[in-house]
Copies of this chain bind each other. A is one copy, B any other.
Amino acid sequence: MSRQSLSGFPEWTPSGRVVEQHVLDHVRRTFELHGFAGIETRAVEPLEDLLRKGETSKEVYVLRRLHDEGDTARERQLALHFDLTVPLARYVLENANSLVFPFKRYQIQKAWRGERPQDGRFREFTQADIDVVCQDTLPFQFEVEMPIVVAEALSGLPIPPFRIGVNNRKVSQGFYEAAGIEDVEGALRTIDKLSKIGPTGVAEELVEAVGATAGQAEAALALAAIRAEDESFADQVLALGHRSDLLDEGLEELTRVVAAGARHMPGVLVADLSIARGLDYYTGTVYETTFIGHEGLGSVSSGGRYDSLVSDGKRTFPGVGMSLGISRIMSRILGENLVTATRSVPTAVLVAVTDEASRTDSEAVAHALRSRGIPTETSPTAEKFGKQIRYADRRSIPYVWFPQTGEVKDIRSGDQMAADAAVWEPPTEDWWPRVVAMDAR
């Protein structure tokens, strides 16, 4: 049996998993407190559906049964999903008649992309998504709330300070159209490369590939240079002089998002007119989140408003969503040793066993402690107490209980005291493993 790690398929140690579970529990709780219901979708979709949306077609993993007796030709080809948005769209259509709208759902699952692994970019990764999907019309308020929920989910985590950038597709599109740029989607895709190829590269590509004039390229770059933590971005946009109804609508929407952000999380939400998001299904607000000082890691939470991603031809289900890149966040938390777990096993108490004849006494103590929610093990052998204490120590179990004398020992301090299994509790900080900052250890 091989025992090598696979590049792009990260796995954590038990201690790293304590940290990840802490992250996942906090994110889930935040989503649920805001009224999002959890669902899971299957890991696979028909290949043809995955190729219809997005730009990741070349990175899809296709499935094949090893001993395929030719029946795959009759079945549809299946592939692993590369995000949780396409599966959501399919789930909504499949269950449209039984779901109640607005459908607010969260989904925490793995996704797969066969691309070359890089820092913070994996072949298998965990995403935590929230979306609100409505039938026919989507109240704009949901576009306002989305980054507030994400900021709350991130705020409780042991991560660097972060910034959520917002833009609105209507602003970009309205501006480009008013400036006379014909290939709006091409311009958006080029502007999306700003951090990779810089303003000179973008200007070149806008002229050569997108067909813009030098003046149009300059205007697009001037728009993309605008940043503001308050509503002042709107005047900066208008000062560029390319105005349209669509632009005005976009500015009004973006102003509402930025104003609510300033109220709920001052300094966190920033209007960033360079945000384009590559995917062509976004039609309104778009979001991108970076760790301050770790911009090279890329976005840790992105998303946007989509009008017609979910449609069966007759009915349309507009939505808005954001996705948290749990694996990317975890790789930074664990890679930079920002935090550690106080222990890697859940166990708070090891109940010693004096001899096999009295094992039932030890089991009774363990049962009493567990019934009050205290994670407890019974020693697997009746070795000498010194060996049982070393057994606990090796596994970082903080307390050893001696049923014969009715005493419990904190093996870190050596303190030992009489205790009643019906009422004794460990101090709060020892009850379950905790996640602590490395410098506070």
Contact = CB atoms under 8 A, between A and B. Distances in A.
Interface of A: 1-6, 9-14, 17-18, 20-21, 32-44, 46-49, 52, 57-67, 78-80, 89-91, 93-96, 98-100, 102, 104-105, 110, 112, 114, 124, 139, 141-142, 145, 263-264, 312, 344-347, 360, 363, 370, 373-378, 380-381, 394-397, 432
Given A42-B124, A312-B3, A346 B32 contact: yes
Nearest to A343: B37
Contacts of A363: 264
Contacts of A347: 35
Contact of A1 (B32, B89, B370): B89
Given A1-B90, A11-B42, A33 B64 contact: no
Nearest to A142: B380
Contacts of A370: 33-34
B17 A360 contact: no
A30 to B, nearest CB: 9
A174 B28 CA distance: 51
Nearest to A349: B35
A40 B65 contact: no
A309 to B, nearest CB: 9
A2 B65 contact: no
B345 A35 contact: yes
Nearest to A78: B6
A225 B376 CA distance: 38
Contacts of A60: 65-66
Given A65-B61, A67-B58, A381 B17 contact: no
B6 A49 contact: no
Contacts of A395: 100, 102
A263 B110 CA distance: 42
Contacts of A98: 13
Contacts of A139: 380-381
A374 B3 CA distance: 46
Given A65-B114, A141-B380, A35 B375 contact: yes
Contact of A344 (B17, B21, B37, B375): B37
A161 B86 CA distance: 40
22 contacts: A1-B89, A1-B312, A2-B48, A6-B46, A11-B40, A11-B42, A13-B98, A18-B37, A33-B370, A33-B376, A34-B377, A35-B347, A35-B397, A37-B344, A42-B124, A43-B112, A57-B67, A58-B66, A61-B63, A63-B63, A66-B79, A100-B396
A69 to B, nearest CB: 9
A6 B18 CA distance: 34
B360 A263 contact: yes
Contacts of A93: 1, 3
B95 A41 contact: no
A361 to B, nearest CB: 12
Contacts of A49: 1-2
A306 B7 CA distance: 30
Contacts of A6: 42, 44, 46, 78
A66 B48 CA distance: 12
Contacts of A62: 63-66
A14 B99 contact: yes
A229 B318 CA distance: 59
7 A-B pairs with least C-beta separation: A35-B347, A3-B93, A139-B380, A58-B67, A65-B114, A9-B42, A35-B377
Nearest to A36: B346
Contacts of A89: 1
Given A65-B61, A67-B58, A346 B102 contact: no
A124 B81 CA distance: 14
